[in-house]
Amino acid sequence: MRRKKRPLFLLLISILSFAALSYIVFSYSPSSLINIQKPKIDIPSAATFFVLVFIFFSSFSGYLFHNVRRGILLGTSIVVYLLLRFFGLRNIFFLIILIAIFATIELTFSQKK
């Protein structure tokens, strides 16, 4: 049986998104705006942070698990948890509900095969 090769583009995307994420974390405060000069757009740094966290965890876990669907599911669950923390919902019950929801979604998708 041949082993399935790991997609290297996912590793490349995760490295690039981690580099951009670390730049955003060390350069901007959560309440500041990121200015883009050419189309003259101001993007909140918090929104950029959550998008980059999603891209990083989705691509890295997709690379580790050999499954892009599981990577997207794990990236979504981490971003939802961070958003709950960002909005001040720090109760342990939210974490338990979040784990139960995403475990149910994973079981639903894995039994469709």
40-58 confidence digits (pLDDT tens): 888 999 999 999 999 999 9
Place of tokens 């998008």: 51
pLDDT band at 16 (very low <50, low <70, confident <90, very high): very high
Rounded to whole angstroms, the Cα distance separating 41 from 44 reads 10
The DSSP letter of residue 6 is P
**Cβ-contact 34, 43 below 8 angstroms:** yes
pLDDT value, residue 39:
83
- Nearest Cα to Cα of residue 60 among 9, 5, 106, 4: 9
Mean pLDDT of 57-82: 94
State pTM to two decimals: 0.90
d(CA 31, CA 8): 35
pLDDT of residue 36: 83
- DSSP code at position 38: T
